[in-house]
Amino acid sequence: MDIKVRNGIEMRTLTAENAEEVFLAVDRNRAYLRRWLPWVDGTDKPAATENVIASWEKDREAGTDLVFGIFRDGRYIGNIGLHDMKRPNNSAMVG
């Protein structure tokens, strides 16, 4: 799923093809990100990041989470997500 936010900015569901790019961005910012993202320290190589992305896909299919990669001019710059979605309550946590 792709969502155009504005010129040059879009959100996309991530796939295994994005693992290397996500890994490199996380690796450059690891010390900062580990404070909020418990999965950061477990991603010591792109294959581990691919596993995290696969878990996000599984959660999306289950209807509990929806994680998007944010891209600026086609380059990955971060994530945004809805977590612990509770459809009967129309609620979720933003991350």
Residue 49, burial from CB neighbour count under 10 angstroms (0-12, 13-18, 19+): buried
pTM to 2 decimal places: 0.85
Angle in degrees, CA 34, 31, 8, rounded to 5: 85
pLDDT of residue 36: 87
pLDDT of residue 17: 94
pLDDT of residue 95: 85
pLDDT of residue 38: 84
Higher local confidence (pLDDT), 37 or 76: 76
Domains of the chain as residue ranges with CATH:
2-94 (3.40.630.30)
pLDDT digits (tens, 9 = 90+) for 14-67: 999 999 999 999 999 999 998 988 888 888 999 999 999 999 999 999 999 999
